[in-house]
Structure 1
Amino acid sequence: MTTTGEERTTARGGPLWWSRRRSAVFDWSLAAVSAAECAMEGVPFARDAGIPVPAGVVFGLFAGSVLLVRRQWPIAVVLVSIAITPAQMGFLMGIVGLYTLAASELPRRIIGALAGMQLVGTLIVTFVRVRQDMVRGDLDLGDWFVPFASIATSLGLTAPPLLLGLYVGARRRLMESLRERADSLERELQLLAERAEERAEWARNEERTRIAREMHDVVAHRVSLMVVHAAALQAVARKDPEKAVKNAALVGDMGRQALTELREMLGVLRSGDGVGDRRASVPVAAVAAVAARVGEDGEGPCLSELEELVGQSAAAGMVVELSVEGEVRGYAPEIEQTAYRVVQEALTNVHKHAAGAKTHVRLAHRVAEIAMQVENEPPPEVGSASSARLPSGGNGLVGMKERVVGLGGVFVSGPTEAGGFRVSAVIPAA
């Protein structure tokens, strides 16, 4: 089975091997015309062959109707047209069959061989007929006319349909190739769009996680201290009014600082960077920069502020010690901020889960890294006056680990053998 590529569609809507009804009607019309032509040409053929005229007409009808299967078996159509060439029949069938053969996807050697056979057959038959006419005196021309007429007729009946069929077949194959490439490109673009959407969704999730972490680090510590001071204030309000006033002032200061930092962060989130598109990425870098500050000097936290951080916890009733080892030096802002946040969150967890426990904060400046450790002893059996029930979201340790690992460091946390809890982190200095 061979196809010409004329009516390639994904769904067949016509009968038998036709892809569309229009193609079937067209081929039936061509077959009817070819059959009528061969039937008329069968009359002189029957007379010259000495057979009954009806037999020649019937032979012509059958021979011409072979054109009906040109799309399914173009080789058979061409062979039949070559076979009836000596009878001077099937000129339309020869032309259409050769065109269909050339436009098909058959190998070029088969197309060339059949076209050569038809050319030679037409050349021989035309040469013989023209020479016979000249011998009978029907044509009174020179001897040059016989080869000229033979060559011109054979080329005229063979070359145009052959070249046109090759051109149409090549053009259709090119169009199919372009269509396939377009479909492939469309699939690739769709796949890229899906991947881009997945990456965008992943980026949005990451940004939401980072914003939540920054919000947690900025607000949770101060709010936790506020709750601790409020509990202490409630416990000593009647016994020690001066201490109560002091705790109330601390609560107010910390509340104002927390509100200031929260207001600045919300201001960044409401900035015009993403106004044009509600799904645009939040400016996380700016959020992190604003969220990182713990004071009112407009700069991010640094290791030099650890003493103040530890002092705030001590003021809330925690027994905390700070020790620094190695030569103190400066680091990149993101390293100092991460180290500060680790200590801050670890102290916040002590306030939440081990109120009244003695805590040790160690900071070590090494050659190629900076290490920090916050370890608390077991909390006292009886809750102190400063103890309070503080809610925990369970994200503090996760956020610390994400920060440290993001800088290529190592983070470890867990209970100690003595019953306390230890948080350790090591961050590369470079």
Structure 2
Amino acid sequence: MTTTGDERATAMTGPWWWDRWRGFALDAGLAAVSALECGAEGVAFARDAGLPTPVGVGFGVLAGASLLIRRRWPIAVVLISIAITPAQMGVLLTVVGLYTLAASELPRRIIATLAGMSMAGTLIVAMVRAGQDMSEGGAQPPGGSEFVPFFAVAAAVGVTAPPVLLGLYVGTRRRLMEGMRERADSLERELQLLAERAEERAEWARNEERTRIAREMHDVVAHRVSLMVVHAAALQAVARKDPEKAVKNAALVGDMGRQALTELREMLGVLRTGDGTKSAKPAEPVPLAAVGYAAAAAASRAVDEEGPSLAELDELVGQSRAAGMAVDLSVEGEPRDYAADVEQTAYRVVQEALTNVHKHAAGAKTYVRLAHRTAEIAMQVENEPPPEPDGAGAARLPSGGNGLVGMKERVTALGGVFVSGPTDGGGFRVSAVLPAAALAAG
């Protein structure tokens, strides 16, 4: 197996410039053999040059030992081999030096220049040595004088070409493997980054869906329960004076409770199964990120499909009227079909605005305006000041302060505009404008 990244850096445990100890051992062995070869050949060199034998042997040993630095300075090793070529020593030094030079990452022109110099030096020395041997022996080889150039060329090519070609092949293969290793590292990093981003997207989707479900439950529970509390207060007030009205209010409380329970069951069913059907045990483990993202998307689709629409707006206003609120509903423009998320958001804005009137301005007259325009739909809920300052406290309706925040989140998620605030007359106004062709965010 190959090492990559930090593992490769950890694997570099050799001394000095060696990656591993076995590389150091190999170079030391080659240097020792080359030193012995050049030292033995230094005896003949010292005799021919008229130098003391120890000088020739020491020169050969030093030249041959230069193989120890072949990985660090391959050019120096090749230049040393070229320099000692006239001394007729260092065949192993030449072969290994040329191989190391060709396998290195040096420019090809430098490799070609030094290989050519080595071949030329070997060719000249081979021709001179062959001529000297023939002159001393006095014998003519087959082919006469043409044998010397042929022998010299064969010797030069035989010593130079194989190590250079082998080094070029090994160097190219090594660079290819390093490129593939770097590419594998890059792909691994990209996959890790994609996995992290997928997990972040899944977590974001889960958070968004939790917020969405919280808004839905707030709308359902707050509105229904607010009406139930209002009717219960009215029931308590008229129980003895007007039994028929008390029975009517009790029936309305029961209807509101059943509707609230039905909507809560539908929503909880979506949360349990994700798509409204009974979930089955998966045959294989599924990544948590995929589960969270898919469940959030399924729950979002289910809530959109099963949510309320503008066709139920009259019923919503009627429920508030039944609770004793004076509501004036007006619709401008020609009603038409909108995307499910647009109709649901418009309905929820009106519902939450009416709920706030029940909580904070009980008994105040309320105006609900709905306008169908060419490219948008606008809605406005405005109430007058309550007839009694403590009218809201009579029903004892708590407020969590999340209604306006939820409405604004719904509207802005579809690219709409939401504005709310008190009016000059002491009432409160909620206004929203939604694009007619808006799509759900995400």
Q: Normalization by structure 2: what TM-score? A: 0.87
Match of 2:408 among 397, 401, 415: 401
| Residue of structure 2 equivalent to 1:157 | 159
Measure how far apart 1:361 and its partner are: 1.6
| Residue of structure 2 equivalent to 1:302 | 310
Measure how far apart 1:333 and its partner are: 4.2
Could you tell me whether the CA contact under 8 Å between 2:359 and 2:392 is conserved in 1? no
Q: Supply the AA of the counterpart residue of 1:391.
A: P
| Residue of structure 2 equivalent to 1:98 | 98
Q: Supply the AA of the counterpart residue of 1:351.
A: H
| Residue of structure 2 equivalent to 1:180 | 182
| Residue of structure 2 equivalent to 1:220 | 222
Match of 1:230 among 229, 232, 242: 232
Q: Supply the AA of the counterpart residue of 1:285.
A: R
Unaligned stretches of 5+ in structure 2?
A: 1-6, 438-442
Unaligned stretches of 5+ in structure 1?
A: 1-7, 293-299
| Residue of structure 2 equivalent to 1:297 | none
Could you tell me whether the CA contact under 8 Å between 2:304 and 2:341 is conserved in 1? no
Where does 1:5-404 land on structure 2 (aligned, <5 Å)?
10-11=9-10, 12-137=12-137, 139-141=139-141, 142-271=144-273, 273=275, 276=282, 279=292, 280-282=294-296, 283=298, 284-290=300-306, 292=307, 300-303=308-311, 305-381=312-388, 383=390, 387-404=394-411
Measure how far apart 1:262 and its partner are: 1.4
Measure how far apart 1:272 and its partner are: 6.4
Measure how far apart 1:329 and its partner are: 4.6
Question: Helix, strand or coil: the match of 1:270?
Answer: helix
Deviation readout 1:335-370 (Å, 9 max, x if unpaired): 333322221111111111111222122223334433
Measure how far apart 1:59 and its partner are: 2.0
Cα distance in structure 2, aligned partners of 1:226 and 1:9: 71
Measure how far apart 1:70 and its partner are: 1.3
Question: Helix, strand or coil: the match of 1:312?
Answer: helix
Cα distance in structure 2, aligned partners of 1:383 and 1:15: 88
Question: Helix, strand or coil: the match of 1:18?
Answer: coil
After TM superposition, the structure 1 stretch with the greater mean CA deviation from structure 2, 308-317 or 412-421, is 308-317
Q: Do the aligned partners of residues 9 and 70 (structure 1) sit closer, same or farther apart at CA in structure 2, a change above 3 Å counting?
A: farther
The share of aligned pairs that are identical, in percent, is 75
Could you tell me whether the CA contact under 8 Å between 1:78 and 1:114 is conserved in 2? yes
Q: Do the aligned partners of residues 9 and 87 (structure 1) sit closer, same or farther apart at CA in structure 2, a change above 3 Å counting?
A: farther
Q: Normalization by structure 1: what TM-score? A: 0.90
Measure how far apart 1:20 and its partner are: 2.0
Cα distance in structure 1, aligned partners of 2:336 and 2:105: 78
Measure how far apart 1:332 and its partner are: 4.4
Question: Helix, strand or coil: the match of 2:431?
Answer: strand
Q: Do the aligned partners of residues 130 and 260 (structure 1) sit closer, same or farther apart at CA in structure 2, a change above 3 Å counting?
A: same
Question: Helix, strand or coil: the match of 1:144?
Answer: helix
Question: Helix, strand or coil: the match of 2:394?
Answer: coil
Q: Do the aligned partners of residues 88 and 331 (structure 1) sit closer, same or farther apart at CA in structure 2, a change above 3 Å counting?
A: closer
Q: Do the aligned partners of residues 338 and 53 (structure 1) sit closer, same or farther apart at CA in structure 2, a change above 3 Å counting?
A: closer
Cα distance in structure 2, aligned partners of 1:382 and 1:192: 57
After TM superposition, the structure 1 stretch with the greater mean CA deviation from structure 2, 409-418 or 118-127, is 409-418
Deviation readout 1:33-85 (Å, 9 max, x if unpaired): 11111111112222222222222222222221122211122112111111111
After TM superposition, the structure 1 stretch with the greater mean CA deviation from structure 2, 230-239 or 75-84, is 230-239
Cα distance in structure 1, aligned partners of 2:316 and 2:81: 102
Cα distance in structure 2, aligned partners of 1:166 and 1:384: 94
Cα distance in structure 1, aligned partners of 2:45 and 2:334: 117
Question: Helix, strand or coil: the match of 2:377?
Answer: strand
Could you tell me whether the CA contact under 8 Å between 1:327 and 1:365 is conserved in 2? yes
Cα distance in structure 1, aligned partners of 2:79 and 2:393: 107
Measure how far apart 1:410 and its partner are: 2.0
Could you tell me whether the CA contact under 8 Å between 1:223 and 1:255 is conserved in 2? yes
Q: Supply the AA of the counterpart residue of 2:309.
A: P
Could you tell me whether the CA contact under 8 Å between 2:274 and 2:295 is conserved in 1? no
Cα distance in structure 1, aligned partners of 2:134 and 2:246: 138
Question: Helix, strand or coil: the match of 1:105?
Answer: coil
Tell me how many residue pairs correspond in the alignment.
Answer: 414
Could you tell me whether the CA contact under 8 Å between 2:30 and 2:67 is conserved in 1? yes
Cα distance in structure 2, aligned partners of 1:271 and 1:206: 18
Q: Do the aligned partners of residues 327 and 132 (structure 1) sit closer, same or farther apart at CA in structure 2, a change above 3 Å counting?
A: closer
Measure how far apart 1:416 and its partner are: 0.8
Cα distance in structure 2, aligned partners of 1:120 and 1:385: 108
Q: Do the aligned partners of residues 122 and 423 (structure 1) sit closer, same or farther apart at CA in structure 2, a change above 3 Å counting?
A: same
Could you tell me whether the CA contact under 8 Å between 2:362 and 2:392 is conserved in 1? no
Question: Helix, strand or coil: the match of 1:323?
Answer: strand
Cα distance in structure 2, aligned partners of 1:16 and 1:384: 88
Measure how far apart 1:256 and its partner are: 1.0
Aligned alpha-carbon RMSD (Å): 2.3
Q: Do the aligned partners of residues 378 and 267 (structure 1) sit closer, same or farther apart at CA in structure 2, a change above 3 Å counting?
A: same
Could you tell me whether the CA contact under 8 Å between 2:330 and 2:369 is conserved in 1? yes
Cα distance in structure 1, aligned partners of 2:150 and 2:392: 124
Cα distance in structure 1, aligned partners of 2:339 and 2:404: 23
